[in-house]
Chain A
Amino acid sequence: MENKQISNYRYRLYYSRTGVPTWIGHLDLMRTFQYSCKRAKLPSAFTQGYNPKPIMEFALPAGVGVETRADPLDLELTERITAQEVIQQLNTKLPQGIRIEAATYLEQPDKNLMSLVQAAAYTIIAEKLGTAAEKVIVANDQTIIVERVRKGKKRRYDLRKLIIDLQIVSPNQIKFLCKAGSNANLRPDMLLKALYEAEEITKNNALDAIIIRDRVFLKNEELDY
């Protein structure tokens, strides 16, 4: 009898995306990672069922048009190889613009990576963005309400409750730390929306912004950005 109790080996990877992959949605990003793992011939653990997929879990979906610098992603393998080997194999088979920046083997894997997310740090570059954020967010403590329509339902958010810290880097650049994850999450495009609705930047400049997610913070990680 074969031992059915196969324990997989779990790795935490940190990926960056720039350029073209910035412009794909979360499902397409997962698809791209699936195919890349297969090309890399990683000993992936697969889901059960008729349509087996490599087991992988993303910490926090990145919206279309958001670059990442080190977003966490968990992979399960059926063989124990070094984290360095995972990085090397995968990086030769990922499409241009996606890179594994770091990886660690998880001695005590905690499942459900998504539930560990507590905050995220972003950099946004757009014309007059720093000046506008200074006026609307920093030099002011009123609520910042934006409305978002999702699946036909309107929802209102107070961005101030979601922003933990915000710094003006230059007249065109800000960086900030905000709540992230399944309980409370700030989408950076909502912050831009608040600023162009306040008519402090133009809509076109807001839409032209470069949005970078510098880090995703998991539970027990120091919010140092």
Chain B
Amino acid sequence: MQNNSQDLFYPNHVLRQVEKPAQYLGHEWNIIDKSEFMDHRHQKMPMIRFGFCFPDIYEIGMSNMALRIVYNLLNSRADTWCERIFSPASDMRGFMQELEIPLVSLESKTLLNQFDIVGFTMQYEMSFPTILDMLNLGKIPIHNSARSNSDPLIVAGGPIVYNPEPLADFIDLFMIGDGEELLGELIDLYKTWDRKDESRESFLLRCAELEGVYVPWFYQPEYYSDGEFKQMHKLHSTVPGQINKRVVRNLSKAYFPTEPIVPNTQIVHDRAYLELFRGCPRGCRFCQAGMVYRPVRERAVDLLVEQAKQLIESTGYDELGLLSLSTGDYSELVQLCDRLLEFCAEQNVSLSLPSLRLDSFSLDLMSKAAKTRKTGLTFAPEAGSQRLRDIINKDIKESDLLKAARIAFSGGWDRLKFYFMLGLPFETDEDVYSIPELAKKVLQIYYDLPPEQRKRKPQLTISTSFFIPKAWTPFQWCSQIDQIEMAEKRKILIDNLRIRTINYQWHEPDLSVTQGIIARGDRKIGKVIEEVWRTGGWLESWNELFVYERWQNAMDKYGLSVDFYTSRQRSADEVFPWDHISSGVTKQFLWSEYQKAEAGELTAECREQCHFCGALRFNTGLCVSHGK
């Protein structure tokens, strides 16, 4: 029976049997509906239909900054309508299969295969099977080789695009780096494609001429007999041998959405966000984002305050978050926060400060933020011992940590969370034991406070993830520990953190190993991802749906060894399957950082000294201003 008010696309009996049905229905505040212009489609103004796909469910995807930016950016063009598509959750996916309901956009309920361009964001490796699943639910052939001129152009980009090879069989073209300018150029080029006259291949060849575009179809990997990557062959003379990432040079002038969609239902990060800067001056050696987003480019304080006002006015959100890789490093943080706090107090908005770095943590800022609300505080020392923190270039002293904890406890924050990594390069058992020791020292800080400052019991959360070597980091040559070692290290923490006020959380070893396979995977891993999807894996980023056996079986089927991709130490001269994608930093710089790690030497942050990582070539941001 039809709904009497709006066409909701899904029958009521489906909506009554799925969790959070509104996530499939759209019609949120600030949604962009260009259907009224669609009547003219093939007449006056052809509208480019762009389907932005987030390979996870709504409440995760809607929290994502890239989605918010791309959605409003593309829709700011009169000739483009960007719509959103998310993965269904398990219950809805079951109904879609049973009732043969295809995957459609939230805005106009358009089937995925009817779009001109379908774009996926690559946020985390485990979402790759979800990309295949969404293509399939949207009735698009999963292989780029199987697509005809009537299929949409399938593009992808995002923070982990710097090793695109595992998706090379599925995606038509990758966009490397910042998308703000490149997306527009791609749309402009797309409008010149006459699908009747020009083949897909010919059009893709033209796309490959855009700086930052990688069309895997025109590149053929060659391997040694033992499976090691040998080199990448260009299959066409006009495509670039190296694909350089795109960089937005002036972030203050770059597009930023101040009228983001406000979901009808609560999402994971349910607040308005400002993006303070892109890049990170620190250079932690395990961190891919810290390497590939160079150089640091900030937005101006005045602009951010203005954007904050517009955001709150257009959304009505009562919480404002600050987004960047290390917010504490924003050059005018105190001034910015003073002005934001003033505005927030007037508007009954709470300012949520993200995990600040301990060394840049000021009592002043904390107490100011506390006027609005005291939530938990999060710190990321990453390693328990000073030795290991030096190795990973996390320049935090234990005394800084304890001092920050004292300030936090005496200021009334009784919930502290600490993030650590296990299995870092050169890690010893002593390094692992130093994590519970540090936790106990932090607790002791609390008990040393005068009684009037100890109102509630402290709650300390220790969270560990397993280190996963990533492409384009100084640790891309490193061995990743296997599940047995992971379990041993985790056991040390479990045994030594049996304290009532400490809550210990850890990541799943199998999931971490699988992520490791993909993170440094080559094109052969695409077959594995496909096999995992064919054998039932589709939302593998969800612990409860992830099945390691599927990955093991798929690796076996193609005669691939898990250890080859994860625990194998790479040699200095190994050629990587991602070497032809350039993040701006040079392989020489990464190698020298790896050597310094082994020697336990720190590399000062960019503001103090230039280390000639390669990002200087972009001639912008901190690279240009730090000498002044």
Of chain A, the residue at the smallest CB distance from B14 is A207
Q: Which one of A4-12, A27-35, A141-149 contacts B?
A: A27-35
8 Å CB contacts to A: which residues of B7-23?
Answer: 8, 11-13, 15-17, 20-22
Q: Which one of A48-56, A79-87, A174-182, A216-224 contacts B?
A: A48-56
Q: Are A65 and B15 in contact (CB under 8 A)?
A: yes
- State whether the Cβ of A38 lies closer than 8 Å to any Cβ in chain B: yes
Q: Are A24 and B264 in contact (CB under 8 A)?
A: yes
Q: Are A20 and B315 in contact (CB under 8 A)?
A: no
As a 0/1 sequence over residues 34 to 46 of chain A, the CB contacts with chain B under 8 angstroms (1 = contact) are 1111111000001
Give the CA-CA distance A35 to B265 in the complex, in Å: 12
Give the CA-CA distance A39 to B28 in the complex, in Å: 14
Question: Which one, A50, A126, A208, contacts B372 given CB within 8 A?
Answer: A50
Please tell me the number of chain B residues within 8 Å of chain A, measured between CB atoms.
37
As a 0/1 sequence over residues 53 to 73 of chain A, the CB contacts with chain B under 8 angstroms (1 = contact) are 100000000001101000000
Question: Given A19-B27, A38-B312, are A97 and B5 also a contact pair (CB < 8 Å)?
Answer: yes
Looking at A25, A93, A127, A208, which has the most chain B CB atoms within 10 Å of its CB?
Answer: A208
Question: Which one, A35, A204, A210, contacts B29 given CB within 8 A?
Answer: A35
Which residues of chain B are within 8 angstroms of A25 by Cβ–Cβ distance?
20, 265
Instruction: Tell me how far the C-beta of B9 lies from the nearest C-beta in chain A, rounded to whole angstroms.
Output: 11
- State whether the Cβ of A109 lies closer than 8 Å to any Cβ in chain B: no
- State whether the Cβ of B25 lies closer than 8 Å to any Cβ in chain A: yes
Q: Is the interface of B mostly helix, strand, loop or mixed?
A: loop
Looking at B13, B264, B373, which has the most chain A CB atoms within 10 Å of its CB?
Answer: B264
As a 0/1 sequence over residues 95 to 132 of chain A, the CB contacts with chain B under 8 angstroms (1 = contact) are 11100000000000000000000000000011100000
Question: Given A38-B318, A210-B1, are A20 and B348 also a contact pair (CB < 8 Å)?
Answer: no
- State whether the Cβ of A23 lies closer than 8 Å to any Cβ in chain B: yes
Instruction: Tell me how far the C-beta of A22 lies from the nearest C-beta in chain B, rounded to whole angstroms.
Output: 8
Give the CA-CA distance A125 to B3 in the complex, in Å: 10
Of chain A, the residue at the smallest CB distance from B315 is A35
Which residues of chain B are within 8 angstroms of A24 by Cβ–Cβ distance?
22, 264-265
Which residues of chain A are within 8 angstroms of B265 by Cβ–Cβ distance?
24-25, 28
Of chain B, the residue at the smallest CB distance from A209 is B12
- State whether the Cβ of B314 lies closer than 8 Å to any Cβ in chain A: yes
Instruction: Tell me how far the C-beta of A23 lies from the nearest C-beta in chain B, rounded to whole angstroms.
Output: 4
Looking at A27, A67, A95, which has the most chain B CB atoms within 10 Å of its CB?
Answer: A95
13 other contacts beyond A20-B26, A96-B6, A96-B27, with CB at 8 A cut-off? A19-B3, A24-B264, A34-B316, A35-B29, A35-B317, A37-B316, A51-B373, A65-B16, A95-B27, A95-B28, A97-B5, A126-B1, A207-B12
Q: For the complex of A and B, list the 4 residue pairs with the smallest distance between their C-beta atoms, beginning with the closest.
A: A35-B316, A207-B13, A38-B316, A18-B5
